[in-house]
Structure formats: C-alpha cells, structure tokens
C-alpha cells in the first residue's frame, strides 16, 4: 500500500513539473501567484497593468471584442506598438479621424506638423494643460473609452474661457446631469460635444450615425450651428436670437434670449400683408 502511494506521488509530481515546463501560462501563474503577466522590460507596474485591464473590461471596446493587440500590435509586422496614434484609431473610426484632421484640433497633424497644444491657442487655456498634444488620446481615455467623459470633462481639462466654464451652471449642464448615462450620453443630453462635435447621418446610409470631430464645423458661419444643432431642440426664432447674442453665448445660454432679430418681425409683417391681400 505504501509503495502504491509513493508511486502515485511521483506520477503527480512528474505531471506537475512537465505542466510547468510545457505551458508558459502555467509558469507565469506560478511565478506571479496568478497576477497579470508582466514583461520585465515594460515600464508599467503590476498595479497599473491591473488597472488598465479593469478599465478595458468595462469598455465599449471590450463589448466589441477589441482587445489589446487590436491597437498595440502592427497588423502587418505584428510588432508591439507602445503608443498607438490616430492612425490606429482610423482603422475602425475612419469618419471620426478624418473629420478630426479637418478641424483646429487636428489640422496641424494633417499638414505634417507637430500636434496642436493649448499653448498655441488664442482662447484662455489652463496652465496645467498647456503642453498637452491634441490627438485622439487627449480627449478619449483609450482603455475605458468613456464618451461621457469625452463629452464635457475632457474639454474642461484644457479650455478656460468663460463660455466653457459657464457650461457647468447652464440649463444644458443640468439636462446632462439628469439624463446623461454611461457608457454614452443619452440622446437628449446636451454637452459640449453635442454642439461642437455634432452627430450626423453618414452619407448614403439610412440609419448610420457618426460624430463629426471637426470642432470648427459649426462655428462659422453661426447659422450653421442653428441648422445642425440648435433646431434639433429649439424653434428657428429662439435659436437665431440666442446664437447671435454674444453676451448670452459667453454665459453659455444660462437664460432665455433677450435679443430680438428684426428679420423675424419683418417676416411676420410680410405674412400679414400677404394674408390680407389674399382675402
């Protein structure tokens, strides 16, 4: 009986040892006590790797089966890409990157220049963000892919002008606080991105909606903002009276407009005359 027990122990030991030698994952599990594997040459700590993994697990990327190698491995050479650029994002988000490169945030990259930094801006910017370089990663946390954060918080990381800062006390911000949901803001929420990065229907499609990342698209002329954004919620007169009131714009539309454009009075007067003539 003792001899049988000894034989069994020897066999179990051989299987265990051969398993460790024959399976790299088993060896790593033993070496790290089940921790996340770490390349000895990597600069991230074990805690950082665990945090990144946890962020990714709750992201839209994880739900879409976009894993680490999708962004961190060259599709042709299979080599490690330590810091993916917007070109990596473009492989999936073609319209977003293309429109980003048209706007002020990305135009320098499209011209082969160094990325835009807040230090180059004409608007007031926060000192803490002065050296940030504008690319996809600047606004989007690449591991959590949190569009809720990118819709407001990312903007206020850099922008320090009155219009941007006053958003937090605006009716729009209150609506966002009431209806904003993760991982994406509710369709009725109003954020910085709602107006400055409007959602648009992709050409030649019936229901494919994309985000226009050209941050200057709705700024000039102003009536483009009215047509593309404001009139999705407001009437035409209210929208025009608001967007052409410089003081109200700076206050981030904290109150209803007091400015009245004469154009609408003229139109109403014209309609009255035409109606009376028809009678």
Q: Locate the domains of the chain by residue range.
A: 220-264
SS3 assignment, position 159: strand
In this prediction, residues 176-186 reach a mean pLDDT of: 61
Q: What pLDDT score does 192 carry?
A: 94
Q: What pLDDT score does 3 carry?
A: 57
Higher per-residue pLDDT: 15 or 207: 207
Residue 176's pLDDT band (boundaries 50, 70, 90)?
Answer: confident
The overall average pLDDT reported for the chain is 83
Cα–Cα distance, 23 to 56 (Å, whole number): 26
Q: What percent of the chain has pLDDT over 70?
A: 81
Query: DSSP labels for 26-39?
Result: HHHHHHHTTPPP--
Q: CA torsion, points 23, 29, 30, 31, in degrees to nearest 10?
A: 110
The two tokens of residue 43 are 């600069």
pLDDT tens string 90-141: 989 999 999 999 999 999 999 999 999 999 999 999 999 999 999 998 999 8
Give the number of residues written for the chain: 279
Higher per-residue pLDDT: 230 or 276: 230
pLDDT tens string 208-245: 888 999 999 999 888 899 999 999 999 999 999 999 99
Residue 150 has pLDDT above 50, yes or no: yes
Q: 3-state secondary structure string, 236-268? A: HHHHHHHHCCHHHHHCCCCCCCCCCCHHHHHHH
Query: Is the peptide bond prior to 180 cis by the omega test (within 30 degrees of 0)?
Result: no
pTM of the model: 0.74
Q: What pLDDT score does 187 carry?
A: 60
Strand partners, 200: 210
In this prediction, residues 27-49 reach a mean pLDDT of: 61
- Cβ atoms within 10 Å, residue 116: 20
């Amino acid at each position: 009986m003792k001899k049988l027990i000894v034989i069994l122990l020897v066999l179990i030991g051989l299987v265990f040892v051969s398993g460790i030698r024959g399976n790299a994952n088993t060896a790593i599990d033993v070496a790290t006590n089940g921790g996340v594997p770490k390349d000895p040459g990597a600069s991230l700590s074990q805690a950082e790797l665990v945090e990144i993994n946890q962020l990714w697990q709750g992201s839209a990327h994880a739900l879409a089966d976009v894993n680490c190698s999708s962004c961190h491995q060259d599709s042709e050479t299979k080599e490690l890409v330590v810091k993916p650029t917007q070109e990596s994002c473009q492989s999936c988000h073609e319209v977003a990157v293309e429109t980003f490169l048209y706007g002020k945030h990305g135009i320098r990259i499209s011209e082969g220049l160094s990325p835009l930094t807040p230090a180059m801006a004409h608007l007031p910017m926060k000192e803490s963000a002065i050296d940030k370089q504008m690319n996809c990663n600047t606004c989007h946390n690449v591991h959590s892919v949190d569009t809720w954060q990118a819709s407001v918080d990312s903007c206020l990381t850099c922008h320090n002008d009155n219009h941007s800062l006053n958003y937090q006390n605006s009716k729009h911000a209150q609506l966002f606080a009431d209806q904003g949901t993760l991982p994406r803001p509710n369709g009725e929420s109003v954020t910085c991105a709602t107006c400055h990065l409007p959602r648009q229907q992709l050409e030649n499609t019936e229901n494919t909606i994309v985000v226009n990342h050209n941050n200057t698209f709705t700024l000039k002329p102003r009536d483009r903002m009215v047509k593309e954004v404001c009139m999705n919620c407001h009437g035409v007169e209210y929208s025009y009276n608001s967007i052409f009131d410089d003081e109200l714009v700076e206050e981030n539309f904290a109150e209803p407009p007091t400015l009245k454009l004469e154009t609408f009075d003229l139109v109403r007067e014209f309609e009255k005359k035409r109606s009376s003539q028809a009678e």
